[in-house]
């Protein structure tokens, strides 16, 4: 009996050791795995492409089995961005991707330790209220900008709608970067003797009425890279198209939904550039505090063939058809 009891105890100790070793290996594997938190302010074509490009680069570099993405769609609610990044901080993720300005602002306010990369952010100095911004945020923040040449976009309005005397600026008042773009375009057009009127909406709930007012009062409309507008292109088109007023858009996704032309960057390439920055940070090859904001320096003029035909708009040479 004593021999049997001793044998049982020995077997129990052996099993315990194997179990303990298994648990230790699992913990080690978990620590070796990279965890990246991604918060995107809202789902639409441009932002989705940036997130995809970012993830593709990290998967190509580290392998899908070695990286966990915690993704949050904030459904255009800045408070959800705050909740998401606080969760990322509590989970001690290795890096945060903040897709669009409200996501970046939330991450910036949540941590000074975890590396934060922004993307689809137009102007970092405006977004983060940095005076005399020199192109490098410093600290634990860097990223990529979706800023296209604004004066060239403004000139497109003149080239495509040469008879326009009044141009409406349609944008979400809650988006600081939208207001920044509008100011630059407005200054340019007014310098050319064109009357410019602001039509700022508060959110998706009043975008239709404001868009209709803009179409009734203007010969052409400009929409900057604006996340709320991008998620409401069908509504905007429904309000503006019956008035036969052309829209020049700040990016291709908005143009596809309601615009006639755009000078736009590739958001997927922007995401890939952000991913390449992330790889360097995660591998210890770069110091984020010294990484300057990156840009897509090859914007392309594109046009929406269907809407141009419906409105009788003749596009100048040098534009590619949106696909």
Rg (CA), the chain: 25
Looking at residue 28, what is its pLDDT? 32
**Per-residue pLDDT tens over the stretch 47-87:** 999 999 999 999 999 999 999 999 999 999 999 999 999 99
Q: Which range (19-28, 97-106, 196-205, 264-273) has the least confidence?
A: 19-28
Question: For 150-264+300-321, which CATH class?
Answer: alpha beta
Residue 194 has pLDDT above 70, yes or no: yes
Domain with CATH 3.40.50.2300 in the chain: 34-146+266-292, 150-264+300-321
Identify the DSSP state of 242: G
Quote the CA–CA distance of 23 and 4 in Å, as a whole number: 29
> What confidence category does residue 234 fall into, taking pLDDT thresholds of 50, 70 and 90?
very high
Residue 55's contacts (CB-CB under 8 Å, 6 or more residues apart) are 38, 69, 271, 275
- Burial of 18 from C-beta contacts in 10 A (0-12 / 13-18 / 19+): exposed
91 vs 79, 94, 182, CA distance in Å?
Answer: 19, 9, 38
Q: Which range (5-9, 259-263, 289-293) has the least confidence?
A: 5-9
pTM of the model as a whole: 0.82
Looking only at the bridges linking them, the beta strands covering 261-264 and 300-303 are antiparallel
Q: Which of 63, 165, 171 is nearest to 55 (CA)?
A: 63
Residue-level length of the chain: 323
**Per-residue pLDDT tens over the stretch 124-172:** 999 999 999 999 999 999 999 999 899 999 999 999 999 999 999 999 9
Signed CA dihedral, 47, 157, 185, 204: sign only: negative
The arithmetic mean of pLDDT across residues 206-225, rounded, is 98
Please determine, looking at this structure, whether the domain spanning 34-146+266-292 carries the CATH number 3.40.50.2300.
Answer: yes
């Amino acid at each position: 009996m004593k021999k049997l009891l001793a044998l049982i105890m020995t077997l129990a100790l052996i099993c315990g050791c194997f179990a303990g070793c298994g648990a230790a290996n699992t913990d080690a594997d978990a620590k070796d795995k990279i965890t990246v938190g991604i918060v995107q302010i809202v789902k639409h074509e441009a932002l989705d492409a940036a997130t995809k490009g970012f993830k593709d680069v990290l998967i190509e570099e580290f392998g899908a089995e070695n990286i966990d993405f915690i993704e949050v769609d904030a459904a255009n609610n800045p408070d959800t961005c705050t909740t998401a990044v606080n969760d990322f901080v509590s989970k001690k993720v290795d890096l945060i991707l903040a897709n669009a300005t409200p996501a970046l602002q939330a991450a910036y306010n949540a941590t000074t330790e975890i590396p934060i990369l922004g993307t689809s952010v137009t102007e970092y100095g405006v977004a983060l209220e940095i005076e005399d911004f020199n192109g490098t945020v410093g600290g634990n923040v860097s990223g990529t900008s979706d800023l296209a040449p604004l004066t060239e976009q403004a000139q497109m309005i003149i080239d495509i709608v040469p008879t326009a005397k009044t141009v409406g600026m349609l944008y979400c008042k809650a988006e600081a970067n939208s207001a920044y773009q509008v100011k630059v375009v407005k200054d340019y057009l007014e310098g050319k003797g064109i009357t410019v009127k602001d039509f700022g909406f508060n959110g998706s709930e009043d975008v239709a009425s404001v868009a209709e007012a803009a179409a009734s009062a203007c010969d052409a409309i400009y929409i900057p890279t604006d996340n709320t507008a991008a998620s409401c292109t069908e509504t905007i088109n429904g309000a503006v198209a019956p008035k036969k007023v052309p829209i020049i858009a700040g990016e291709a996704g908005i143009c596809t939904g309601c615009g006639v032309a755009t000078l736009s960057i590739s958001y997927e390439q922007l995401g890939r550039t952000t991913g390449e920055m992330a790889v360097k940070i995660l591998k210890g090859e770069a110091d984020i505090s010294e990484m300057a904001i990156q840009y897509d320096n090859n914007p392309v003029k594109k046009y929406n063939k269907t809407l141009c035909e419906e409105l009788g708009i003749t596009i100048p040479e040098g534009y590619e058809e949106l696909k």
